């Protein structure tokens, strides 16, 4: 029984050593590549920052499901929202035109 346990321990130790060597080689390769290309590090940092911000914003908005349902509601109401925007812009243009015409008449008098 003890011999079998030692055999299993040796096999596990060999696997552990192989995994450790492979991991340290991978980390060393990544580090050396990053040293050769500093822009890569900046891109990774910026990408992580953008991802963190988007996750924070989605969580702050009530979660991903809420964000999706809100976006779907905006899409469904798109035409009505566009009409309201066009109408308010049209009214603003009329008001401004009337104001400019009124100022022009005051100047001419």
pLDDT tens digits, 61-104: 777 777 778 778 877 877 787 888 888 889 999 988 888 887 76
Domain assignment present for residue 87? The answer is yes
Q: Where are the alpha helices (DSSP H) in 1-109?
A: 2-36, 38-60, 64-76, 78-108
Position 104 scores a pLDDT of 66
Position 30 scores a pLDDT of 85
Residue range 26-41: average pLDDT?
87
Residue range 29-54: average pLDDT?
89
State the chain's mean pLDDT as an integer.
83
Residue range 33-50: average pLDDT?
88
Domain assignment present for residue 108? The answer is yes
Tokens of 54: 């988007």
Position 47 scores a pLDDT of 93
- Block residue for tokens 């996750």: 55
> CA 47, 50, 52, 58 torsion: positive or negative?
negative
How many structural domains compose the chain? 1
Nearest to 70 by CA among 82, 62, 60: 62
Neighbour-count burial for 46-80, b at 16+ CB within 10 Å, e otherwise: eeeeeeeeeeeeeeeeeeeeeeeeeeeeeeeeeee
Structural domain harbouring 96: 77-109
pTM of the model: 0.36
Domain assignment present for residue 81? The answer is yes
Tokens of 44: 């990774």
Residue 107 pLDDT greater than 70, yes or no = no
More confident residue, 74 or 20: 20
CA 50/CA 44 separation, integer angstroms: 10
Domain assignment present for residue 9? The answer is no
């Amino acid at each position: 029984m003890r011999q079998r346990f030692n055999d299993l321990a040796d096999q596990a130790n060999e696997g552990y050593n192989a995994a450790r060597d492979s991991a340290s080689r991978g980390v060393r390769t990544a580090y050396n590549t990053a040293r050769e290309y500093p822009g890569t590090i900046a891109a990774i940092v910026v990408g992580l920052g953008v991802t963190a911000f988007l996750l924070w914003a989605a969580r702050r908005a009530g979660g991903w499901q809420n964000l999706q349902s809100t976006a779907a509601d905006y899409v469904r109401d798109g035409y009505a929202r566009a009409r309201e925007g066009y109408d308010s812009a049209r009214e603003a243009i009329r008001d401004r035109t009337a104001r400019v015409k009124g100022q022009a008449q005051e100047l001419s008098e």
